[in-house]
Structure 1
Amino acid sequence: MGNPTLPSALFASLAPADGPKLLDDAERLLRDGNPEAADLRLSRAIALAPADPRALGLAGVASHLSGRSDQALRRFGWTVHVAPGHAAAHNDLCEALRRRGRLEEALAHGRLAAALEPDRFDILYNLGIVYYDRLEIDRAILWERRAVRLAPEVPGPHFELAEGLLLSGCFPEGWQEYEWRFRLPGVPPPVPPSLLESGRPVPRPPWDGRPMPSERLLLIADQGFGDVVQFARYIPLAERLCPDFVIAGSPETLPILRQVSGGRRCHQDWESLPDFDRWCPLSGLPRLFGTTLATIPAEIPYLHADPERAAWWKERLDGLLPKGMQRIGLVWAGRPSHGNDQNRSMRLQQLKPLFDLDKVALVSLQVGPTQAEIGRYFGKAPLVNLGAGIGDFDDTMAILQSLDRLVSVDTAVAHLAGAMGVPTSILLPFAPDWRWLLKRGDTPWYPAVTLHRQTSPGRWDEPVRAMVASLRFRRR
């Protein structure tokens, strides 16, 4: 591995004493979100001290924050080469390799970093994430517990511990640790602090789950669209304890929230909210209701398609598809902005075994740029693209009602289908989101859903084959 190429012509006037100041300035710029300016100072510092592990490590961070992942990996690799006993260098390389899916190598460098500095919480935290990605969940929990003991006020290890516990079905402790999610860097609070303090000497407190017959509760549709669908089932339970409630959610979630709240009390901006006494995010309701695997509210369906819109979409599909064919909906990719999208999404062509089924018509509900993949579709089954005509979740639910089954990766559409009771096959990555639990082909959250899991990271062929075999078996 060669030393990454760095410019040197600009540095003739620098003296060795300038190095520490350049590094301090670079660290400040990285914290301020200016990696390009930091990179320039780091290049100067490396020209003065080519083997300084601090300078090389910060240069790798600058590359990562600038989106240059290949360069970041090279820089972290060179840091380990010139400073093999530097724990932080191995920790940085561990995380870079993990993001590239090179889990064996990531584990080796993570374990070496932990051996060199066993009392650094960030090293133990990263190692726990590697074990989660390897689906060694007991070890992931063990390392995150160690990180929590070393840094009990840092939210990252608590959140990763929560994901490991919830994935394992250890819900009581998992929900408690899950409360740390709002303290993660860059995560906004569920309610703007100014709104909690407005017009009162004491800020409005969070709801503790006790009945509030004469006070108003604010529920917040937080996190992703799939989370809103999943946790909306708790709204009727909250209403029994707090009859006077309002809901705040994004415009996209209103078709869901209006249904479960009886079509009232939904607001899409903070300014329109009436006064309230206590508040709770939807994702906090499972903890307040003491949800265990045996007590998940699963009265399905709790979402329904609008009858007029469903009739319109059915008429359109009847005109587009041959009669007598089983209608299977497809969603093969999620939002690119999702933090785990590189693992949960796939390409349309990877569903090829599905294309050759007899008497099957495929209906694409895929939205966004990945619709373009349909232009390269070749298969026995006719495929209709409805993505361009889907305006909101009301359209999506109306289309789902006209399908015999949905085949999807882990997206909000899969949650919608599950909440409607539409038979659904979900294709899951090797290390799935916590809600899908471990080693199960079903889910207590959505009884009509069947799960097909990768058996090795990044390999979709096996779950796709299992899904197609399941469809053939059901048809027989």
Structure 2
Amino acid sequence: MDGRRDRVAGAMRLLADGDRDGATSVLRAALAEAPDDPDILHGMACVARASGRPDLAIGLAGRAIAILPAAHFHITLGCALHEQGHLEPARAALHVATLREPRDARAHAALAAVLGEMGRWGEAEASLRAALGLRPADTALLLDWARAAIMGDGVGIGPRLEASARRFVAQDAGRLHGLAVLLSERGRHAEAEILYRLVRDRCPDQGAAWANHGAVLFALNRHEEALAALEQADRLAPDVPETLNNLGLVLMALGHLPRAGVALAAARRCAPDDARIVVNDATILTDMGEDAAAERLLRGVLADPVAARGAEGARAEFNLGTLLLARGAMAEGWRHLEARERLLPEMRWPALAPWDGSALPHGRLLLHAEQGLGDAIQFLRYLPYCLRRVGVVLDLPPALHRLARTMPDPEGLIASRCMVLSDEAPVPDDVVARCGLLSLPHLLGMAEVPPFVPYLLPPVPEGARVGAPRVGLCWAGNPAFRFDRRRSIPPQMLASLGDVGGVCFISLQHGAAAGDPPFAMEPAATGDWLDTARVVAGLDLVITVDTAMAHLAGAMGRPVWLLNRFGGDWRWSAVFDRAEAPRWGNGTSRWYPSLEQFRQDGPEVPACAWQAPIAALRAALECWRCVDR
């Protein structure tokens, strides 16, 4: 008996060393002497699996189990069944193995592999946790666990792998990269960053490792770190289109427009057929004021029938729309802007047909906000025109509900034909079509800026505008916006405004930036946007960067000074300036006649580009406080 066991053990060593023929010869000789020996049958099953014959292995392992139901026999049977695609029988066999020998990590790991293929990732993660408990130093098991945990939407994967960083070697980089990709695909960029960093540290001479780390740092808005990583990637592996593309986007986000243009132009030269890079290059050209070159690139993408149908075609058409709007070609611009629907998240109301702009013979229109609060405020001015054609159910962010109810209603259309949908309320049954607010100019055929009258009219607080002039200040937008650094202003750059005497400053800043004012002032308003509007109604002037605050003050008809970046949003372009010269700044707006702009005059980095407009605004503020209002 011991001799047979020794022969089986010797055969398994031969198999482990890659000598399948030697192992087969030994086992066949042993089997001829003892055809019902379960260990020999199991050894033959292992050889069959190694030879790519799981079908034979299933029969041999089954015979061995019939004689002796050992746990490791069930593991071999379960693995062979798995390889043949018989998932449920494989799961059952491996489950038996874990019950018979719960201290065998191989059984738990094999069971996890089957459960994962069945999509039962929570159970797979639990099985791998059990295996790791038995073999805590097994790096392969740890990486298997991480994959199962990610697929099962588990948390804390990145930190756990980071805590085990010393265990990983260069050979683990590929699997770590795969896990990072899985996390990135699920929007879990902070955890993905940890893994991309682990890969980079193990492959410091590989440009791709630095490039991937730089890309995820950019996704996290850690722009300076992203820039350093991508520059290193470019040094290690020059002329890689994806690296140059991301480098250009990071530089653009940081406000280094000329350098961004150089990087994106280089990326396009390296990959002239990559529509995504072409659109990005067109974007920086637009920001640099090179509209003709940008338009040629965008129309080139749209001329390609394959690219035009995809996501980059939608981006190209949308960007062309904003370029045309900035030029004043409003009818064509509005039409191309409709491409944004192909870029927005999946429609919440797929059963509702898009509205074509005509009167509805029955039922009402769902008119919904679709982008930022500023867009919603600006395009509410088109609501009365829409109500002349259809009844409306208005879907707005909850923060705007009470504010929207302050719209004047001289024709009674809002009161009689518009209902604001309450938060999370179902869409009424009589709604038969849908439309985004930004589609109204196109669908209503309005190719000019509508005549302006203030259309948000909250009550003026009692005792407002008495005493020293009251000036509201907003210096930052939403930091989650990838290019926020170009529109927001570091508060210390506005510190000199606090030296203007005879002015009472009130913070209009929302969000985390409110806690870091440029100088002492009355605290920010709390509550929804009606509460903010009530504060604005009591101010003599609003000073703001390009955020919803500019639209709020403008829609109320309150004086507002906009600090605007070079190559800014289409709606603030010079083509929309009023015929009258500005009184204080270097630009105006037909969208909001009470608004004046203090524009940057060149594509310098923000630290330099903001100096001139801030200095001009401060000088204007000194004069403004002395005049009658």
TM tier, smaller: 0.7 to 0.9
Do residues 289 (structure 1) and 444 (structure 2) align? yes
**Aligned residue number for residue 598 of structure 2:** 452
**Aligned residue number for residue 163 of structure 1:** 322
CA contact (8 A) 1:225 1:412 kept: yes
Matched position secondary structure for 1:217 = strand
CA distance in 2, matches of 1:34, 1:114: 29
**Aligned residue number for residue 410 of structure 2:** none
Unaligned runs of 5+ in 1: 1-6, 198-203, 378-382
CA contact (8 A) 1:27 1:58 kept: no
Do residues 402 (structure 1) and 538 (structure 2) align? yes
CA contact (8 A) 1:22 1:45 kept: no
* Deviation of the 1:453 alpha carbon: 0.5
CA contact (8 A) 2:470 2:539 kept: yes
Letter of the structure 2 residue corresponding to residue 343 of structure 1? R
After superposition, residues 171-190 of structure 1 pair within 5 angstroms as 171-184=330-343, 187-189=344-346
CA distance in 2, matches of 1:375, 1:429: 19
In structure 2, relative to structure 1, the CA distance for the partners of 1:213 and 1:400 (3 Å cut) is: farther
CA distance in 2, matches of 1:395, 1:248: 20
In structure 2, relative to structure 1, the CA distance for the partners of 1:291 and 1:41 (3 Å cut) is: same
Percentage of pairs with the same residue: 31
Matched position secondary structure for 1:465 = helix
After superposition, residues 198-209 of structure 1 pair within 5 angstroms as 204-209=352-357
* Deviation of the 1:445 alpha carbon: 0.7
Question: For 1:373-416, what per-residue CA distance to the aligned partner results, in whole angstroms no more than 9, with x for missing partners?
Answer: 44843xxxxx4x1424x322222222222222222222222212
Question: For 1:134-187, what per-residue CA distance to the aligned partner results, in whole angstroms no more than 9, with x for missing partners?
Answer: 233333333333333441122333332222222222222222222222332xx4
* Deviation of the 1:296 alpha carbon: 1.4
In structure 2, relative to structure 1, the CA distance for the partners of 1:314 and 1:435 (3 Å cut) is: same
CA contact (8 A) 1:122 1:147 kept: no
CA distance in 2, matches of 1:41, 1:408: 38
**Aligned residue number for residue 254 of structure 1:** 401
CA contact (8 A) 1:331 1:366 kept: yes
Do residues 421 (structure 1) and 557 (structure 2) align? yes
* Deviation of the 1:91 alpha carbon: 2.1
CA distance in 2, matches of 1:29, 1:149: 35
TM-score by length of 2: 0.62
CA contact (8 A) 1:220 1:249 kept: yes
**Aligned residue number for residue 3 of structure 1:** none
Matched position secondary structure for 1:271 = coil
CA distance in 1, matches of 2:502, 2:519: 21
* Deviation of the 1:62 alpha carbon: 3.6
Matched position secondary structure for 1:330 = strand
**Aligned residue number for residue 212 of structure 1:** 360
CA contact (8 A) 2:458 2:534 kept: yes
* Deviation of the 1:47 alpha carbon: 4.7
* Deviation of the 1:208 alpha carbon: 0.7
* Match 1:279 to one of 434, 442, 454: 434
Letter of the structure 2 residue corresponding to residue 192 of structure 1? R
Question: For 1:116-150, what per-residue CA distance to the aligned partner results, in whole angstroms no more than 9, with x for missing partners?
Answer: 22111122122122223323333333333333344
CA distance in 1, matches of 2:217, 2:513: 27
**Aligned residue number for residue 380 of structure 1:** none
* Deviation of the 1:265 alpha carbon: 1.0
In structure 2, relative to structure 1, the CA distance for the partners of 1:302 and 1:65 (3 Å cut) is: closer
CA distance in 1, matches of 2:219, 2:422: 32
In structure 2, relative to structure 1, the CA distance for the partners of 1:250 and 1:25 (3 Å cut) is: closer
Question: For 1:212-233, what per-residue CA distance to the aligned partner results, in whole angstroms no more than 9, with x for missing partners?
Answer: 2533111113322111111011
Do residues 75 (structure 1) and 229 (structure 2) align? yes
Matched position secondary structure for 1:278 = strand
CA contact (8 A) 1:327 1:360 kept: yes
**Aligned residue number for residue 615 of structure 2:** 465
Letter of the structure 2 residue corresponding to residue 170 of structure 1? A
- Tell which structure's C-alpha radius of gyration is larger: 2
CA distance in 2, matches of 1:427, 1:70: 24
Letter of the structure 1 residue corresponding to residue 548 of structure 2? A
TM-score by length of 1: 0.80
* Match 1:332 to one of 475, 480, 488: 475
Do residues 300 (structure 1) and 448 (structure 2) align? no
CA contact (8 A) 2:260 2:284 kept: yes
Matched position secondary structure for 2:404 = helix
**Aligned residue number for residue 374 of structure 2:** 226
Task: Compare 337-346 and 26-35 and name the one that shifted more.
Answer: 26-35
In structure 2, relative to structure 1, the CA distance for the partners of 1:24 and 1:370 (3 Å cut) is: closer
Unaligned runs of 5+ in 2: 1-163, 408-413, 578-586
Matched position secondary structure for 1:452 = strand
In structure 2, relative to structure 1, the CA distance for the partners of 1:454 and 1:33 (3 Å cut) is: same
CA contact (8 A) 2:257 2:288 kept: yes
Matched position secondary structure for 1:104 = helix
> Would you say how many aligned residue pairs link Structure 1 and Structure 2?
435
Letter of the structure 2 residue corresponding to residue 178 of structure 1? L
Matched position secondary structure for 1:84 = coil
Letter of the structure 2 residue corresponding to residue 387 of structure 1? A
Q: Whose helix fraction is larger, Structure 1's or Structure 2's?
A: 2
Task: Compare 274-283 and 134-143 and name the one that shifted more.
Answer: 134-143
Letter of the structure 2 residue corresponding to residue 235 of structure 1? L
Do residues 192 (structure 1) and 192 (structure 2) align? no
CA contact (8 A) 1:314 1:399 kept: no
In structure 2, relative to structure 1, the CA distance for the partners of 1:432 and 1:314 (3 Å cut) is: farther
Matched position secondary structure for 2:597 = strand
* Deviation of the 1:98 alpha carbon: 2.2
* Deviation of the 1:235 alpha carbon: 0.8
After superposition, residues 20-419 of structure 1 pair within 5 angstroms as 27-35=181-189, 36=191, 40=195, 43=198, 47=202, 50-51=205-206, 53-65=207-219, 68-150=222-304, 151-152=307-308, 153-154=310-311, 155-184=314-343, 187-189=344-346, 191-193=347-349, 196-197=350-351, 204-212=352-360, 214-242=362-390, 244-260=391-407, 261-262=414-415, 265-275=419-429, 276-292=431-447, 295-306=448-459, 310=460, 313-315=461-463, 318=466, 323=467, 325-374=468-517, 376-377=519-520, 383=521, 385-388=522-525, 390-419=526-555
Task: Compare 141-150 and 172-181 and name the one that shifted more.
Answer: 141-150
Question: For 1:12-46, what per-residue CA distance to the aligned partner results, in whole angstroms no more than 9, with x for missing partners?
Answer: 583xxx88777666545533435545864785598
CA distance in 2, matches of 1:69, 1:371: 22
* Match 1:442 to one of 563, 568, 588: 588
CA distance in 1, matches of 2:566, 2:232: 30
CA distance in 2, matches of 1:148, 1:21: 38
CA distance in 1, matches of 2:217, 2:383: 44
CA contact (8 A) 1:298 1:446 kept: no
CA contact (8 A) 1:137 1:164 kept: yes
In structure 2, relative to structure 1, the CA distance for the partners of 1:352 and 1:156 (3 Å cut) is: same
